[in-house]
Amino acid sequence: MTTPYPPGTRVFLEDTQTGWIPAVVSSCARVSGDTLTLVLTDENGKETTLTGSGSSLPHLRNPQLLEGVDDLATLSILNEPSILHAVETRYAQRKIYTYSGIVLLAVNPFEPVSLYTPEIVKHYVGRNKGELDPHLFAIAEDAFAAMSLDGSGQTIIVSGESGAGKTESAKLVMRYIAAPKSPDAYTDKNSFVEGTSQVEQQIQATNPILEAFGNAKTTRNDNSSRFGKYIQLLFDTNRHIVGARVRTYLLERSRLSYQAKTERNYHIFYQLCAGLPSQMLKELGLEADYSKFHYLNQGGLSVTEQSDCDKFHAMREALGIIGIDAGKQRSIFQILAALLHLGNINVAQTRTDAVIEDEDVSMLRAMEFLGVNPGDFKKWTIRKQITTRSEKIVTNLTAPQAVGVRDSITRFVYACLFEWLVTSINESLAGKYGDAASRAETYVGVLDIYGFEHFEKASVANSFEQFCINYANEKLQNEFNTYVFKLAQEEYVKEKINWTSIEFDDNQSAIDLMEGKIGILSLLDEESRLPLGSDDSFLQKLNAQLNKPANKAVYKMPKFANAAFTIAHYALDVTYQVDGFLEKNRDTVPEEHLNLLTSSDNAFLREVLDTALHHREGADTADLPSPSGTVSKIPDPGRTSMAGTTGRGTSVKKPTLGSIFKMSLGTLMDMLRMTQVHYIRCIKPNQHKTAWVFSSLQVLAQLRASGVLETIRISTAGYPSRWTFEDFARRYFLLINWREGPSLLKREQFKRVCVLVLMKAKIDKTQHQLGETKIFLRSGILARLESTRSEKLNAIIFLQTNMRRLIAMRKLRHFGRSVVEIQSHWRGAKARQAFHAAREEAEAEKARIAAKAAEERERERERKRKAAGGRKTPTRNGAATPSENGSPGSTRMRRMFSFGSREKSVLAVPDEPLPEASQPRLSRLEVAAKRLSRRSWYDDSSTRKSPNHLVPAPVSDVSAQRSKSPFSTPIYDQFMKRPPWNASTNLSR
Ligand SMILES: Nc1ncnc2c1ncn2[C@@H]1O[C@H](COP(=O)(O)OP(=O)(O)OP(=O)(O)O)[C@@H](O)[C@H]1O
């Protein structure tokens, strides 16, 4: 029986440190039934033996080809480790963007990258998503193109945990969309306009302002946005940008009165201390050393940074751009200074009550700047009035209660100031006549919203803020699921695929638990309105109402935490501590203080409060009717009013923070449903903000929390692999008959190839469907096909390798034989050359001896003739003397060169030069040399010119001949250095 883990199968081995390690199955044995014993070798070469069945067996890994793909949706195996591994592989290749279906994953590089240059912007203009590498600009271009096509509203949702890069990504996306594009930009890339338009400048000016007032240093991010924002870029019928508007959500208020260690309050306070001229600092009672302010020194930091001063000036400039003049700026700074002094008011405790000195300098200063009577302020800070049906009761507060009142005023005033600033920004973005929204035909919105939040450390509790953030993410996830599932279904319908069997669980029950009629938010509101309501009684209510079998899957009472409740979110279970829920939800200032503030002598403060408290939906200047009287067609993503009027005279009843948030989220969701949505999920690769370090477990938690894994779960419920017939056929045709495949491809019968491949691979009907243009495959099928394909390819490569080796070896043998032959001929030639030289020397010696003997004889004859009186002695008929017949040296030479049969035959050549051959015949040497393909070794033409090539040159000509010789090559020289008659010389070595 076959197993799903044959040897060579690529798997992931679970690891506590890194999550998973890639490994390969070395052997697999079936123990019994489904239980297998696997021997795995991981990438470090370590062997592990594992016995198990079903889900306890290791996760399968994708074929190498698919690891590091642009789009995770194209992975054949879509389990958690595979997805994580693909993202990690890409990040290691410095590819920070990856698609996951409709989502773009952006992993924070934590160092500047050259991905946003005007050149790159130009590349993406007019290109479809998927044509180029995954990028923020591809998503921005996609949204802009969709808007241009039919005028439909678009929203790009950028989410992720704190420090993941949401704000940076949102800024880049907006810069791309707002960048002015010439009408030809889509046909001619060179006509793309660089630079900034006025609207773009104004949009960019919002960044330093919102960052100064809404961002703070946290342990997770030095410039963390403590609010959510939605920026809508408005376009007219010609797709020209006409304006923009900003909506903000849930500014974190608790930070104003309390900061954790190493964290800071909002940047603006430090910027003020670092950047204001000393005269102004003095007037406002501030100092560059901010450590004396209670609201600024709790984080343990005491020095401003140089960047605070620089950013202060940039922020002031930006205020100027959006039309807030120097006078208004001074008023803003005055209010901020008042808040810092408020924090320094000394609230002492007598035995029972709180007391504040009448002469408390901080109080006097704060009240001076706020335009409020210090006596009244003091009275309503240390006392409280309870109104019953029949009477008003005034009671004294304790010091902590009075401090609570003081801090609530700070939080309230700051939140109102933030609201006022956002309103001012919107006025500036509303165009020259303030009618941008009514002139606009369509829009692209960018939502920069906090991601799912969960503190694991016992020291940091998940509180009301986390509850609201996770509630927002739960709602967004629900929209996302519906959208992804809808898209998947649309494709199935278009391709005429039977999709009825595809189901998925959504997170509606968790949402109902939080926002339902008897849900957590409504129970919280109910408790918040009770004068004696408390966190404990709220928890009791929750447990009584929600701890029921119907909510078993989503609501839990934690076993080990007392004042807490647990919600099973789509991402993971989060336990919330109820401490402070009520106070944070109420987040109200006492009625008496509200009246003091709204009737302040400070006209600017009154304007700020009025704007924040009485701002109703649709009352933005951006929404003013145009001069022609038309009303905006652009849906509003939720104007967050700080309060709603009660209708009872002028009194203002402040709704709870929870209900405001619920309302604004509801409006946002309504708007999202009207738009086409694009998703960017930012991922923080490590907690230390270190560049290019990837911590697998942390990323996995974020992939879970961002819903990426959930999307994949939805995809795997259907047919995650979708290929066009052509792509599929071109990749897998080699699995079918080797003649049939290519010929069907040539005839473009792609669907037929697909069917044959499926038949050949024995993939049954439940595992695939053939649509109109695409083939749909269940999870894991592609990996099977890919492994069969690589087996076949490996076999082909094996054959090719061996054939190539065979051919190369034959060539080598042939080459070796030729080399040896050339060597032997050349050695012969050299021997002959040496022999001739020796022979000539011997001949000369012989002639010299003969001449000497003749001379001797002549002298003897002369002597005899003289002695005989002139009688002549006859010679022996001219016969040669023994020395004339050959010298003993000559004989010795012959013997010396007789060292082999081939050489002997060569030595048999006559002493006389060979007669010139009538037909030049190729010698064996030439034939051997010709076998060599390298011309430099042998020049055919030059050899053929000399018919006497076998005759060695005279000794004196040897060097000259060497330079002319066709063999004058390094090998020749090497050869010449050795004794030519040494038979062991082998040049092929
Ligand atoms: N594309 C990028 N290239 C280089 N660095 C980046 C990029 N995106 C983010 N960063 C770095 O990461 C830091 C945090 O980014 P950012 O402030 O956008 O996070 P965030 O998700 O908005 O966090 P928060 O929710 O706390 O506001 C930036 O200050 C910057 O140093």
Decide: 108 in ligand 1 pocket, CB within 6 A. Answer: yes
Decide: 112 in ligand 1 pocket, CB within 6 A. Answer: yes
Q: Which of 74, 82, 159, 225 is catalytic?
A: 225
Give, in order, the Cα–Cα distances in Å from 684 to each of 109, 128, 451, 698: 9, 27, 11, 8
Residues 6+ apart with CB under 8 A from 830: 952, 976, 980, 981
Q: Which of 162, 191, 695, 969 is catalytic?
A: 162
SS3 content of the chain, % helix, strand, coil (to 5): 50, 15, 35
Decide: 163 in ligand 1 pocket, CB within 6 A. Answer: yes
Does residue 217 contact residue 308 with C-beta atoms inside 8 Å?
no
Mean pLDDT of 226-234: 92
Which atom of ligand 1 lies closest to the CA of 689? 12
501 as an active site residue: the answer is no
453 as an active site residue: the answer is yes
Q: How far is the CA of 166 from the centre of ligand 1 (A)?
A: 6
Q: Where are the alpha helices (DSSP H) in 179-266?
A: 198-214, 254-257
Chain centroid to CA 837: how far?
80
Decide: 882 in ligand 1 pocket, CB within 6 A. Answer: no
Q: How far is the CA of 521 from the centre of ligand 1 (A)?
A: 32
**pLDDT of res. 766:** 85
**pLDDT of res. 956:** 43
The total number of residues shown for the chain amounts to 989
Residue 243, phi then psi, degrees to nearest 5: 170, -170
Identify which of 339, 397, 396 has the alpha carbon closest to the alpha carbon of residue 372: 339
How far apart CA 475 and CA 465 sit, in angstroms, is 16
| Closest residue CA from atom 25 of ligand 1 | 162
How far apart CA 294 and CA 351 sit, in angstroms, is 24
How far apart CA 485 and CA 731 sit, in angstroms, is 28
How far apart CA 631 and CA 125 sit, in angstroms, is 32
Residues 6+ apart with CB under 8 A from 607: 420
How far apart CA 491 and CA 872 sit, in angstroms, is 134
How far apart CA 798 and CA 805 sit, in angstroms, is 11
Does residue 141 contact residue 129 with C-beta atoms inside 8 Å?
yes
Does residue 294 contact residue 258 with C-beta atoms inside 8 Å?
no
pTM of the model: 0.72
Q: Which of 68, 163, 431, 638 is catalytic?
A: 163
> What confidence tier does 195 reach under pLDDT thresholds 50, 70, 90?
low
Give per-residue pLDDT as tens, 522-578.
999 999 988 788 999 999 999 999 999 999 999 998 877 678 999 999 888 999 999
Rg (alpha carbons) of the chain, rounded to whole number: 47
Mean pLDDT of 372-401: 88
Give per-residue pLDDT as tens, 418-470.
999 999 999 999 877 778 888 889 999 999 988 788 887 666 788 898 999 99
List the binding residues for ATP. Answer: 160-167
Give per-residue pLDDT as tens, 115-162.
999 889 989 998 888 889 999 999 999 999 999 888 889 999 998 888
Asked if pLDDT for residue 909 goes beyond 50, the answer is: no
Give per-residue pLDDT as tens, 582-591.
988 987 788 8
How far apart CA 41 and CA 22 sit, in angstroms, is 9
How far apart CA 554 and CA 568 sit, in angstroms, is 5
* SS3 at position 575: strand
Residue 234, phi then psi, degrees to nearest 5: -100, 135
Decide: 223 in ligand 1 pocket, CB within 6 A. Answer: yes
Give per-residue pLDDT as tens, 737-769.
888 889 999 999 999 999 999 999 989 888 899
How far apart CA 149 and CA 128 sit, in angstroms, is 13
List the binding residues. Answer: 160-167
Q: What is the 3-state secondary structure (H, E, C) of 606-643?
A: HHHHHHHHHCCCCCCHHHCCCCCCCCCCCCCCCCCCCC
| Residue 434 CB neighbours (<10 A) | 19
221 as an active site residue: the answer is yes
pLDDT above 70 coverage of the chain, percent: 80
* SS3 at position 232: strand
How far apart CA 194 and CA 200 sit, in angstroms, is 12
DSSP line for 830-887: HHHHHHHHHHHHHHHHHHHHHHHHHHHHHHHHHHHHHHTTSPPPPPSTTPPPTTTT--
Mean pLDDT (the chain, rounded) = 81
Decide: 158 in ligand 1 pocket, CB within 6 A. Answer: no
How far apart CA 467 and CA 584 sit, in angstroms, is 11
Helix (H) or strand (E) holding 523: helix 520-529
Work out the angle at residue 957's Cα, subtended by the Cα atoms of residues 956 and 959, and round it to the nearest 5 degrees.
100
Decide: 115 in ligand 1 pocket, CB within 6 A. Answer: no
Which atom of ligand 1 lies closest to the CA of 226? 27
Which atom of ligand 1 lies closest to the CA of 221? 26
706 as an active site residue: the answer is no
Asked if pLDDT for residue 983 goes beyond 80, the answer is: no
Give per-residue pLDDT as tens, 704-737.
877 787 776 666 667 777 889 999 999 999 899 8
**pLDDT of res. 313:** 94
Q: How far is the CA of 167 from the centre of ligand 1 (A)?
A: 6
> What confidence tier does 608 reach under pLDDT thresholds 50, 70, 90?
very high
How far apart CA 757 and CA 543 sit, in angstroms, is 58
Does residue 446 contact residue 173 with C-beta atoms inside 8 Å?
yes
Q: Which of 88, 141, 453, 710 is catalytic?
A: 453
Q: Is 369 exposed, middle or buried (0-12, 13-18, 19+ CB in 10 A)?
A: buried
How far apart CA 391 and CA 717 sit, in angstroms, is 64
167 as an active site residue: the answer is yes
Asked if pLDDT for residue 335 goes beyond 80, the answer is: yes
Q: How far is the CA of 186 from the centre of ligand 1 (A)?
A: 31
Give, in order, the Cα–Cα distances in Å from 538 to each of 542, 545, 558, 565, 614: 6, 11, 16, 11, 30
Identify which of 207, 70, 88 has the alpha carbon closest to the alpha carbon of residue 138: 70
Q: Which of 9, 79, 169, 221 is catalytic?
A: 221
* SS3 at position 129: coil
Give per-residue pLDDT as tens, 476-517.
888 888 887 777 778 888 888 876 655 666 789 999 999 999
Decide: 708 in ligand 1 pocket, CB within 6 A. Answer: no
Asked whether the ipTM of the predicted complex exceeds the cut of 0.95, the reply is yes
478 as an active site residue: the answer is no
707 as an active site residue: the answer is no
Q: How far is the CA of 108 from the centre of ligand 1 (A)?
A: 7
Mean pLDDT of 908-916: 46
647 as an active site residue: the answer is no
Does residue 244 contact residue 436 with C-beta atoms inside 8 Å?
yes
